[in-house]
Amino acid sequence: MDQTKTTHMSPAIPHRIDDLRAALVSVLELCPLALCDAEVCPLHAFRLLNRAERIQKFDSLEQEDLIQMAAFHHSYLGFKLSLD
């Protein structure tokens, strides 16, 4: 890959992480599918924190943690939808 493409693509990565953060914020409150906090959901323990703790913990997550959280959420939603 030439330097122009690398330089052009690099700034896009933070935007993707910002988009990922924005998408995950809503699922930290409750499941968008069940509109509750099912104990079997991978994000259940995270949701048990009070709002201030949840925001503080979420803000401290690294990129890899955000990606893993999104993957857990995505796989759980897929599982739930397959049962319905």
pLDDT at residue 4 greater than cutoff 60:
no
pTM for this predicted structure:
0.63
Cα 36 from Cα 23, distance rounded (Å): 17
Which pLDDT tens digit goes with each residue over 44-78? 888 889 989 988 988 898 888 888 888 888 887 78
The whole-number average pLDDT for the span 16-35 is 79
Provide the residue ranges of all domains of the chain, joining segments of one domain with +: 3-83
Cα 59 from Cα 24, distance rounded (Å): 11
